[in-house]
Structure 1
């Protein structure tokens, strides 16, 4: 993994938008690293250990061990490889989200397969980064995901947009959308266009905390796990158009 490089401040539906230091003046983001390649895992753990605002609370060599460790350590963010023995990263993602819904999942993998990306997003992952990302990009991804944002490697974002475009259906049911208030729909449309919480707050002339509350209520009403799932929903229900 490169030590230096751009911070990858993505744009569009899956970029971090405005980036902020994680939990300034507060507790560090607690991270669990799960990867079956020992040299990569330990190297990543060491590099993250010197990053500001990040504390690595454990590491595991497979999905099953990672799930158990996530339950016992309750990390803020889990970095998961996709392809692992005993229990895959996708299976671990499902298990961890079921046991600890507030824990954020970032897939960190060599897999650039659309199917892996889609399954990760569908099962609650908030980020999907490739292993050729720099340590700065991974650290920044951890920070923004901990804040409730979503992040995908730019090369994968285009693939996910293409996947979303195929989801439009003529017989859509607007029933679920009727559960949302007009303001929640406004927030959903802006989130789907890639705006950060800060940008949404500025656009709607409300506070950032109010935006966070709307996002949380929106996800709860629609039974979704992440902002990226909200994007999928918005596109499928034709609440937003991706050009």
Structure 2
């Protein structure tokens, strides 16, 4: 399935920028990713400022971003990159999954995080998933983040958004319970590619950065899908 969806995109590899101030870890992650036939590391950066500059130069598909770095930290770099290149997916590299900054990273536009202790297969799979538009956030932390966003942290955008179509509202309701593209496609009898397009349109219309923010918006505005009976 992954191979066929990648083939549809013209056999182009997922272009990745790896950002971390520890040279050994940076090179190690790059080596792991370059072993995958579907991924190519286009460059590395050792701080947030370099990450911003190299994003402008290479326009990568995915950025693996450390949080704590000299010169400019990962949160500030994430905020700038998402403002300049909204469709670049950012995956946070972190040593701890309890770090409160992960909430801020999602608010800045990151699509999830991966532990630095993750296995090579997990690193590769996370990059593929985030590139496909899937959030890479474990269930326990995802619910905490969504709860946090359901508070006033998500801007009141109802007055300034474009109206969603009926189908987009169905997709949004599924997002509110953390459904994947595959789950939504099966429930609504549409293709995963169509789901991706709907999600992209929803984010644009609601002026949100990622699926987690969309789920929180749905909860806060009362668009939550009722238990299993929606299809």
- Which bin holds the TM-score, normalised by the shorter protein? 0.7 to 0.9
Q: Distance in 2 between matches of 1:143 and 1:240?
A: 28
Pairs within 5 Å for 1:58-207: 58-153=43-138, 156-164=141-149, 167=151, 175=159, 179-207=163-191
Partner of 1:12 in structure 2? none
1:53 aligns with one of 35, 38, 42: 38
Report deviation, 1:158.
5.0
Q: In the aligned structure 1, how far is the partner of 2:32 from the partner of 2:83?
A: 29
In structure 1, the residue matched to 2:16 is: 31
Q: Deviations over 1:182-209 (max 9, x none)?
A: 2211101112222222321221122333
**Residue 2 (structure 2) pairs with residue 20 (structure 1):** yes
The answer to whether the Cα contact below 8 Å between 1:82 and 1:111 also exists between their aligned partners in 2 is no
CA distance in 2, matches of 1:213, 1:141: 20
Aligned residues of 2:48 and 2:77 also touching (Cα < 8 A): yes
Q: CA deviation at 1:235?
A: 2.1
Q: Which of these residues, 23, 28, 31, is aligned with residue 43 of structure 1?
A: 28
How many residues of Structure 1 are paired with residues of Structure 2 in the alignment?
A: 222
TM-score normalised by L of structure 2: 0.85
- The answer to which structure, 1 or 2, has the higher relative contact order (CA under 8 A, 6+ apart) is 1
Question: What SS is found at the alignment partner of 1:189?
Answer: helix
Gaps of 5+ in 1: 1-18
C-alpha change, 1:100 and 1:182, in structure 2 (3 Å) is: same
Cα deviation, residue 149, structure 1: 1.3
